[in-house]
Amino acid sequence: MVDSRWFAIATVVNYALLTVLWAVILVMYVRYRRLARAMDPLVAVLAAVLALDAFKNFVENFYFGLVWAGRYGIAFTSLAPTLSAPW
């Protein structure tokens, strides 16, 4: 039987990796948008929409990484109750 602590650490590491991945993707889209403006305005709009979605995913993964790290007692335990409460 696998220890539940391992799953907690794997979950937080997964959110951290996803946050870094979305940050890299966001930087790539922003750089490409600058190049695309000169070529075609529609491609620049597409890059802007994709960059907005990448930013949303970055914030979402960062937020849930903080929440689950706090809930599992790995890090940021004082933030977990505040972030978990909807209001």
Name the pTM for this structure: 0.82
Q: Tell me the angle at which helices 41-71 and 4-39 cross, rounded to the nearest 10 degrees.
A: 160
Q: Look at residue 11 and tell me if it is in a domain.
A: no
Residue 26, both tokens: 């966001």
pLDDT in tens, 43-67: 888 888 999 999 999 999 999 999 9
Note whether residue 45 is domain-resident: yes
Q: Is the pLDDT of residue 1 over 80?
A: no
Of 67, 66, 61, the residue nearest 84 (C-alpha): 67
Inside any domain, residue 8: no
Distant-in-sequence, close-in-space partners of 65: CB < 8 Å, separation ≥ 6: 12, 15, 16, 18, 19
Count of the separate structural domains present in the chain: 1
Under 8 Å between Cβ of 80 and 67? yes
pLDDT for residue 87 is more than 80:
no
